[in-house]
Amino acid sequence: MKISISDIQFNFWGCKITVSFPFLTIITLLLLIDDSGFVIYGLLAAIIHECGHILAMLIKKCEPREITLRAFDINIIDKNRIKRSYNDDLFILIAGPLFNIIFSFVLFFVYRFYGFNFLIKLIFFNLFIGIFNILPIESLDGGQIFFNLLCRKLSIKISEKFIVLTSFMILMPIAVFGFYILIKSKYNFSLLSLSCYLMGILLLNHKDFYY
């Protein structure tokens, strides 16, 4: 393991994993201010989601070479990224949300047979992350799938503008609804923080788009 001023790096099964301190700081703050346990269940569902992507990459013989977790970016780089076809990309992208949805159904059957109440939240968060990631928002799987489909018919520049505008049109009402949930519940800030986080990524990645 290598620890620097800004990153923690280690190797796992030949894959280089980099975790930035800003990423750890955000996760730590969320855990400290969250009394409901939503953040923990959300993190578990997110891990299951990424396992779906990695499994699909292994099936397509695109073994992960490097995984980077930063404050506004989680990136998985594989050995054959340049050689991948559009169909391979679509398969890998859809595998994450699909894995969440399948996992939630498996947990539901376990819950029905054994009645473990803690599984209810995990089922909900897996369904939420699976369905939410299908939305055509740029940094989500659905947005990348939508962008790939647009690039088959349009230029990259036009496709990029289209996906940015679509992302904001979807995120704005979600943020408003998230604020409404926060006011009503007085503690549930998950949807609001997620929508603001995604809008922050859009603003950072497309600074020139707004001038």
**6 has a pLDDT exceeding 70:** no
pTM of the model: 0.82
The dihedrals phi and psi of 173, each to the nearest 5 degrees, come to: -65, -30
Residue 133 has what pLDDT?
93
Strand order in the sheet with 2-3: 2-3, 7-12, 15-20, 64-70, 73-78
Cβ atoms of 30 and 114 closer than 8 Å:
no
**104 has a pLDDT exceeding 70:** yes
**107 has a pLDDT exceeding 90:** yes
d(CA 10, CA 208): 35
